[in-house]
Amino acid sequence: MKAVALLLFALAPSIAWAQADADDLPPPVAEAEENPGAPLPDDPDVAVGREAYNAGDFAAAVTAFRAVARRHPENPAIYRALARAASWADAPETAIRAYRHYLALAPGAADGDKVKAELTLALRKTESPPAEGPPPAVAEALAAVIERSKADAFAGEAGALAALDALLAIDYVGPELAEGRRAVDETLRRRTDELIGRWWAPDDRASPEALTAMAAGWAARAKRGALDYEAERMSAAVTGLGQLAGQKWSEAIETLGPVAPGDPRLRYAQAVALARAERHVEAEQVLAALARDADDPRVAALLGLVRRAQGRIDHALDAWRIALEPPAAGAR
């Protein structure tokens, strides 16, 4: 009698689904891949999870799908797969959270009603379903990541990256993991761009301390995962400007060299470093190229100085004459 009851309980999700959708049970994982709106991530553990699921080893499927969800926390399909595997593995809390993540990430999904029915069934299976939203520890850790990022504190134990480590260390999968990573990366990029702008603006300064702190932030970020091309460029830029502020001319030249092309501000910083290192010929080459496009008298003024340093006074005067030209009428 007891065995019969257990069997009925284990089959409950499929019975409910049968009532809702009249499909055979259990649902194949491959169905999710066929949904054009929510493909599963391209991750080797997807296949591991699928095989385990189809073999009836639902606990192994949950393990594999959770691993995928940690790497792709904003992919809705992986949560549907995880939720179904967790339902069969008799882990209703995990299933409930995963269903909710799916519905939140894919609000207009074609199978939304079916998934809601599954969620309702999962909720019936537990007397204490998890509360809506992330667990308090996750919410608190995510708030710390965002707050520290806003305060420009990235590196060190009190930095946003340490807070992100703490967030990722929690035994939890959900889109909040991606939100934490995104908060750090986006703030780093925005602040770095602002700092480069302050370095370039004549009426503002990027303090050496701020440059050093931002470079440390990028270094700490790089230790936690590979940077994309743009992030690599920003990291090198801010590091090079910090070296320039610290009068480490050669290091600044080396750091800025690969990332300066395409950004007149960094090109100019590279020229300053070359000039300060008394590599006047190279500095002149960079500045002359810049002067063809740049409409900033500082470029011409510095070009004149490096030519003057080479003893080419006439060429220096040519540059300075341009530097001193008054702006067009109507401009100050």
Partner 1 sequence: MLTLITTVILAANPPLDWQFPGVSGPALQAAVRAAAGPVPRGHLFDEPAREAHLAEVRWPESLGCLSDEAACADARRAVFAALQLAGQVVATAEGADGGHRVVLTLHGLQAPEPQIYTGEGPTLEEAARDAYTALQGRVTLVLTLDPPDTSIRLDGEPFGQGSGTYTVPPGDHDLTFESPGRRTVKQPIRGDAGETLTIEMALPAAVGRLKLAVEPASATVFLDGAKWPDPGAARELSPGPHALRLEAEGYETFTEEITIKSGTAHEMSLKLRPDEPTWREALARPHPDTRARPWTLRADLRLASARDGEVGLALPNGGELASQDLSMGTVGVGFSVGWRSDHLLIEGLGLSYAAGSEQTGATFENGSTSGDIDALSQLTLRPLWVGARYPMWRVEPYALAGVGFVWETFDVDRPSGAQQVSDTRFLLGAELGLRYAFDDALSAGIGAAFDFWPGERASAAFLIQVGYALDLPEPWK
Residues of this chain that bind partner 1 (CB under 8 A): 199-200, 202-206, 244-245, 272, 276, 296-298, 300-302, 304-305, 308-309, 313, 316-317, 320-321, 323-327, 329, 332
3-class DSSP state for residue 313? helix
Rounded-to-integer distance, Cα 3 and Cα 7, Å: 6
> What is the nearest approach in angstroms of partner 1 to the Cβ of residue 37?
49
Select 154 or 199, whichever has its Cβ closest to partner 1.
199
**Which residues, other chains included, contact 160 with Cβ-Cβ below 8 Å and sequence gap of 6+?**
144, 145, 146, 148, 149, 153, 154, 183, 184, 187, 217
Least Å distance, CB 234 to partner 1, is 18
Q: Is 99 helix (H, G, I), strand (E, B) or coil?
A: helix
Provide the minimum distance between the beta carbon of 297 and partner 1 in the complex, in angstroms, as a whole number: 5
The structure tokens listed for 19 are 């009532």
- CB nearer to partner 1: give 272 or 286: 272
Nearer to partner 1, 116 or 308 (CB): 308
Least gap, CB of 202 to partner 1 (angstroms): 5
Q: Which is nearer to partner 1, 125 or 298 (CB)?
A: 298
Least gap, CB of 162 to partner 1 (angstroms): 30
Closer of 173 and 256 to partner 1 (Cβ): 256
Using an 8 Å Cβ cutoff, are 171 and 238 in contact? Answer: no
Residue 246 or 258: the one with the smaller Cβ distance to partner 1 is 246
Nearest distance from C-beta of residue 139 to partner 1, angstroms: 41
